[in-house]
Every structure is written in C-alpha cells, then in structure tokens.
Amino acid sequence: MPGADKRAAAIFDVDGVRAAVTGAASGLGFAMAEVLALNGARVSLLDANESLLEAAVKELADQGAIVTGEILDVADPVAVDRAFAAIAERDGGLDAVFANAGISRGAGIIVEEGKVENADRDAYQQVIDVNLNGVLWTVQAAARIMRAQKHGRIIATASTAGLSTEAFCGYGYIAAKGGVVNLVRQAALDLARDNVLVNGIAPGPFYTRIGGPSGADPEVVEYWSSTVPLGRMAEPSELQGVVLLLAAPRASTFVTGAIIPVDGGTLIGPPISAFSRPTAGFVR
Ligand SMILES: NC(=O)c1ccc[n+]([C@@H]2O[C@H](COP(=O)([O-])OP(=O)(O)OC[C@H]3O[C@@H](n4cnc5c(N)ncnc54)[C@H](O)[C@@H]3O)[C@@H](O)[C@H]2O)c1
C-alpha cells in the first residue's frame, strides 16, 4: 500500500527500482545515478562518452552498486529505442527514466557572435538534436515500456533557461529547454491515465563539465553566482534529494507535469545585490 509506512526512509525508498539515466557519466546525470544506485536501485547508465561512462560505472560498482553502462547517443531515435527495449527486456521492466543528457553550444547574447543575427546554425541544430529531440526520443522509448506496464516515472532535465531568459546561453539551448518544459507537461497529460508520472527538474548553475574547461573559470563562476539569490553555484549532489523525491515509488505519487526548480532562487528574480543601493527617497 502506498504510504503505509510513514517513515522518511520508506517514503523515499528506491531499493530494487529499475532506473535508467541518460548523460549519466558526468555532472548531474552521475549524481542522479549515484543517489539511486547507492540506495539500492538497479541503474543503467547511458552516455555517449565511452571513457567517462566506463569510469562512472566502475566508481559505482566499486561501492557495491548494481549498475551497467551502455553507450548511447540520445540524438539517434533508433538507438534510443533499441537501448531502452534491451534494458526493459533484461530487467523485466523499467520504473524510472531520467532524460538528462545535454550539451551547450553557441554563444550567449551577451557577446556579439551570440546575437540573434549571428547565431550559429550548426550549433543551434546540434543543441536541438540532443537537448530537445533527444529528450523526446527518450520519453518516447520510456513510454513504450511504461504505458504497457501501467506504471513509471519519467524525469527530464530542463533548466532555469527553459523558464526564463538567460543572457549567457545560446539560442539553441534556450529554445531546447523551453521546449523540454512543455514537452514534459504534454507527456504528463498523455500518460496520466496509465499511471506514468512525468516531471522536470530545472537546475540553476551547477559545477559540471557542461561549460567545458571554462566551467571552473573564476570569472564564469562569478557571473553565475551573481545571478543566484543564494549567491553561489551548486554541487551536483545538491540535486539528489529531488531525484529521490521524483523517482521513489512511494514519494510524489500525486505529482505530474511539474517543473521543479533547483536553482538557489534564480527564478524568483535577481539577487538584491544586483540592484544599486536605494537612494534616500526610497527609504521611508
Ligand atoms: N550544469 C548546469 O549548470 C546545468 C543547469 C541547467 C541544466 N543543466 C542540464 O543538465 C543536464 C546534464 O548536464 P551537466 O551539466 O551534468 O553536464 P555534463 O557535461 O557534466 O554531463 C552531460 C553528460 O551528457 C553526455 N552527453 C552529451 N551528449 C550526449 C548524447 N548525445 N547522448 C548521450 N549522452 C550525451 C555527456 O557525455 C556527459 O556525460 C543537461 O541536460 C544540461 O542542459 C545543467
């Protein structure tokens, strides 16, 4: 019975859950796979980067987790279908799928080459292929399995850049993440009567590999930190509570079509420090 045991450990229990995470070899995807696997889920890590994937699987397997790794390019719908069908066949079903793989390409509008007139078409197309189409192919493959088994959780990684503007991001990224937000809502409606819950996570700035080597650049860190009311970027582990909330069969059983920000307050507006000091006229 859902909720029969009211202890937090029971509500957030993912022991035995069959889960798959795309983009699981690094950053947020690895944090998702890690929290699921180290709490007893059987996790398939899917990623396009073979060496990173091998290292990620080894790191979790060395801690006793039940994990496997599959090379997958989420932009290839045939490969996505094949990979997910094989996982479900091997494990006898699939309970939770994280459509997380993503890239960032194309300059933001804060620089000349990122302005709309100059937006690079190849970069735009690459980002749409992975960050938007890749999510749809993943949701589609998951739905083919989950609708038939009449249960499942699908969680897509959107971004604050899908719910608001972000001057540092390129057009492909903004468009793809905006698309993911409404794709999640549409799929949630589509799958609701089959007990498949579809939700999104909207992260703010996290320390991952997505920005390339410049990710750790102090100027970049300072920029991102200045956009966050909590005043800093986040570690991938700070996403893990929400991952358990959305994936655990007894948690969030009445949550679908939601986009949950994990953003240090970014979406509530610019930090107070972004405004200049009020003049005497504002102070009453
Ligand atoms: N880091 C952030 O600040 C941030 C903020 C908001 C949203 N996100 C989103 O989080 C998700 C994960 O990104 P991250 O920040 O952890 O970056 P990351 O680069 O550390 O990890 C992304 C992983 O996805 C894999 N990948 C890339 N293209 C792929 C493809 N075509 N098929 C399969 N795997 C592929 C990469 O090999 C890598 O392992 C992305 O969707 C990203 O847009 C990140």
Percent of the chain whose predicted confidence (pLDDT) is above 70: 94
Phi, psi at residue 8, to the nearest 5°? -55, -40
Name 106's Cβ contacts closer than 8 Å, sequence gap at least 6.
Answer: 114, 119, 120, 123, 124, 127, 170, 171, 172, 173
- The per-residue pLDDT for range 54-64, each reduced to its tens digit, is 999 999 999 99
pLDDT value for 212? 82
pLDDT value for 119? 96
- The per-residue pLDDT for range 37-89, each reduced to its tens digit, is 999 999 999 999 999 999 999 999 999 999 999 999 999 999 999 999 999 99
Q: How far apart are the first and last CA of the chain?
A: 57
Q: Is the CB of 200 under 6 A from ligand 1?
A: no
Q: Is the CB of 80 under 6 A from ligand 1?
A: no
130 CA: nearest ligand 1 atom: 31
Q: How far is CA 184 from CA 16, 76, 187, in A?
A: 25, 20, 5
Give the ranges where 133-255 is alpha helix by DSSP (H). 134-149, 171-191, 218-226, 240-247
Q: pLDDT-based confidence at 284, cuts 50/70/90? A: low
> Which of 123, 127, 201, 188 is CA-nearest to residue 160?
201
Q: Whose CA is nearest to atom 37 of ligand 1?
A: 49
pLDDT value for 213? 66
Instruction: Average the pLDDT over 134-157 and give the result.
Output: 98
Give me the numbers of helices (H) and strands (E) for the chain, helices first please. 9, 7
DSSP 53-69: HHHHHHHHHTTT-EEEE
Q: Is the CB of 138 under 6 A from ligand 1?
A: no
Query: How many beta carbons lie within 10 A of that of residue 215, not counting itself?
Result: 18
User: Into which CATH architecture does domain 8-261 fall?
Assistant: 3-Layer(aba) Sandwich (3.40)
Distance 175 CA to ligand 1 centre (A): 16
Q: Is the CB of 48 under 6 A from ligand 1?
A: yes
What's the whole-number average pLDDT of the chain? 95
> Which of 64, 85, 129, 72 is CA-nearest to residue 103?
129
pLDDT over 90 (residue 275): no
- The per-residue pLDDT for range 169-201, each reduced to its tens digit, is 999 999 999 999 999 999 999 999 999 999 999
Name 28's Cβ contacts closer than 8 Å, sequence gap at least 6.
Answer: 100, 157, 203, 206, 208, 236, 239
> Which of 15, 191, 34, 50 is CA-nearest to residue 98?
34
Place of tokens 């290292």: 55
Which of the listed residues 74, 103, 180, 262 should we mutate to test ligand 1's pocket, taking the one with most ligand atoms within 8 A of CB?
103
**Cα–Cα–Cα angle for 248, 254, 255, nearest 5°?**
75
Task: Round to whole Å and give the CA distance between 148 and 116.
Answer: 44
Which of the listed residues 21, 22, 28, 74 should we mutate to test ligand 1's pocket, taking the one with most ligand atoms within 8 A of CB?
28
pLDDT value for 279? 61
The pTM for the full model equals 0.96
> Which of 189, 185, 187 is CA-nearest to residue 162?
185
Task: Round to whole Å and give the CA distance between 274 and 65.
Answer: 44
Task: Round to whole Å and give the CA distance between 70 and 54.
Answer: 9
Contact 59, 33 (CB under 8 A): no
- The per-residue pLDDT for range 112-136, each reduced to its tens digit, is 999 999 999 999 999 999 999 999 9
173 is an active site residue: yes
Contact 44, 19 (CB under 8 A): yes
Q: Is the CB of 39 under 6 A from ligand 1?
A: no
Distance 102 CA to ligand 1 centre (A): 4
pLDDT over 60 (residue 93): yes
